[in-house]
Structure 1
């Protein structure tokens, strides 16, 4: 007796919300989990690195991590709400990374479809970025960035100038990610879950690219455009990438759930946020 194995697209576990304040609570908790996930993989480096999420209550504003808070210690209640002019208007009301605000504010303005963006100074992302070229389609994972990532080739120092942040947003274009030459990687998503797992995949893909490039006595065999597009279409949709992060979120809750809101939600409709 034979059996047939069929494959279907993974069902999305991404929730839908009728209450924007419940959505705010959800996204802040998942953002805190993303920071814990980043720390577990060694992406923290001093005060560098930031994750932002668009606020569902007031979409012209976004939440970002406070300056100087270690990724391993991040809690949902630590997040800071800022407006498009950089004013701290809610949440933890702590000072934020000026360069982080410059980068994320322009992306959120330029891309209404982007609800989250991640940037950190991860080691392989920094190493590969110095070549100033896109990733090659060398593995299944790299195909998640097929025709969906750009390269910003004009590093001008710490991003404190509006021109620099505008150029980063232009290099991102309509893609999911951008390699910042001499700097590292930045990923985006319709959810923070999508942006976070893409950052992880891009970091691993950068590592694999560097290893492949180091094998100078062998010829690399890139994936064909047809196969790369097929893989991208099958795996790189927002629902699948959201689902991809959920085991990591569950593990962070299992490790230590102190990043979650307990008992009451301080940034609800009765608060001043």
Structure 2
């Protein structure tokens, strides 16, 4: 199975990103990553590159369709779609997209295990092969000051993402980025599961760490964008088969 990225026209790429974004929200709902009206996932528009698509504020992840997604400009105004934007989502995502032009998608939700791990204020340890994907590629953002409504804090979050694919937002949750929606979604799902595994392992005893060289070797195999996209494919195929209305 090829992991290369096909060439698409700008309009084809726009549809591709919107479909994967809607599917990601459905997948996140299935995994219990939603929490009331909290949580947001964005995808940069490939045509108007200073704009991004986002889930509408107050709509359950499990109900979002392609046609429900909002196109938002760099000032937070909705230029396509009906609905409003989560203010915290705009404060964070707008700054990440502006600071990192190579980032296509950003995911942040209040997932259960992500929040539990974030309360510890520690980076994940390389205790499993899957966790090695994040070895030396994520940090803890320590500055919890309340709900993120200020773009200045969004800028600080964006700065800490340089060289990383994820952050543990202390006392808040997880945030992942990627050069495609598929990568970003997979990193989030895998990171949340890695948080769960480490919480379970530490509850049972003292986990044995993978040494740094072996962790880097594993990261070079399972921590690549191509493998992230590959791992997303069965999730996408499954959710579209079970919930085809998401493509409406």
Shared fold (TM-score, shorter chain, > 0.5) = yes
Matched, 1:206 2:188: no
- Which runs of 5 or more structure 1 residues have no equivalent in the other structure? 1-9, 262-273
Q: Is the 8 A contact 1:13 1:242 kept in 2?
A: no
| Structure 2 counterpart of 1:147 | 136
Per the TM alignment, residue 221 of structure 1 is displaced from its structure 2 partner at its CA by: 1.4
| Structure 1 counterpart of 2:154 | 165
How many residue pairs match? The answer is 248
Partner deviation per Cα, 1:104-132 (whole Å, 9 max, x = no partner)? 01111111111001111000100010111
**Larger relative helix fraction:** 2
Query: What is the CA RMSD across the aligned residues, in angstroms?
Result: 1.2
| Structure 2 counterpart of 1:5 | none
Instruction: Give the match's secondary structure for 2:207.
Output: coil
| Structure 2 counterpart of 1:83 | 73
- Which runs of 5 or more structure 2 residues have no equivalent in the other structure? none
| Separation in structure 2 between the aligned mates of residue 150 and residue 111 of structure 1, nearest angstrom | 17
Q: Note the 1:122-201 alignment, pairs <5 A.
A: 122-201=111-190
Runs of 4 or more, structure 1, over 6 Å off, are none
The alignment's TM-score, normalised by the length of structure 1, stands at: 0.88
Matched, 1:95 2:95: no
Query: In structure 2, which of residues 3, 23, 29 is the aligned counterpart of residue 12 of structure 1?
Result: 3
Per the TM alignment, residue 220 of structure 1 is displaced from its structure 2 partner at its CA by: 2.4
The alignment's TM-score, normalised by the length of structure 2, stands at: 0.97
Q: Is the 8 A contact 1:149 1:177 kept in 2?
A: yes
Q: Is the 8 A contact 1:14 1:243 kept in 2?
A: no
Per the TM alignment, residue 13 of structure 1 is displaced from its structure 2 partner at its CA by: 5.0
Per the TM alignment, residue 173 of structure 1 is displaced from its structure 2 partner at its CA by: 2.1
Q: Is the 8 A contact 1:106 1:166 kept in 2?
A: yes
Q: Is the 8 A contact 1:125 1:185 kept in 2?
A: yes
Query: In structure 1, which of residues 36, 40, 46 is the aligned counterpart of residue 26 of structure 2?
Result: 36
